[in-house]
Amino acid sequence: MKKELRDTSIVLVGAGNLATNLAKALRKAGFAIAQVYSRTLQSASALAEVVDAEYTTDIHQLKRDADWYIVSLKDSVFVELIGDICQDKKQDALFVHTAGSVPMSIWQGYANYYGVFYPLQTFSKKREVDFKEIPFFIEASTPANCEWLKEVAQTMSDKVYEATSEQRKSLHLAAVFTCNFTNHMYALAADLLEKYDLPFEAMLPLIDETARKVHELAPREAQTGPAIRYDEEVIDKHLQMLEHDEQMRDLYERLSRSIHLRSKE
Please identify, using beta-carbon distances, which residue of 129 and 146 lies nearer to a copy of itself.
129
Minimum distance from residue 58 beta carbon to a copy of itself (Å): 23
Least separation in angstroms between CB 197 and a copy of itself:
9
**DSSP letter string, 210-257:** HHHHTTTS-HHHH--STTTTT-HHHHHHHHHHTTT-HHHHHHHHHHHH
Q: Which is nearer to a copy of itself, 144 or 174 (CB)?
A: 174
| Residue with smaller CB distance to a copy of itself, 28 or 220 | 220
Cβ-contact 84, 104 below 8 angstroms: no
Smallest separation (angstroms) from a copy of itself to the CB of 49:
22
* Rounded Cα distance, 253 and 125, in Å: 34
Question: Least distance to a copy of itself from the beta carbon of 108, Å?
Answer: 18
Closest approach of a copy of itself to the CB of residue 252, in Å: 7
C-beta separation of 53 from 35 below 8 A = yes
Report the distance separating Cα 98 and Cα 193, nearest Å: 36
- Nearest CB to a copy of itself, comparing residues 112 and 210: 210
Rank residues 92 and 181 by Cβ distance to a copy of itself and give the closer one: 181
Relative orientation angle of helices 182-195 and 246-263, to the nearest 10 degrees: 130
Q: How far is the CB of 57 from a copy of itself (least distance, A)?
A: 19
Nearer to a copy of itself, 73 or 86 (CB): 73
Question: Between the CA of residue 2 and those of 7, 60, 93, 97, what are the distances in Å?
Answer: 10, 27, 11, 21
Name 71's bridge partners: 13, 97
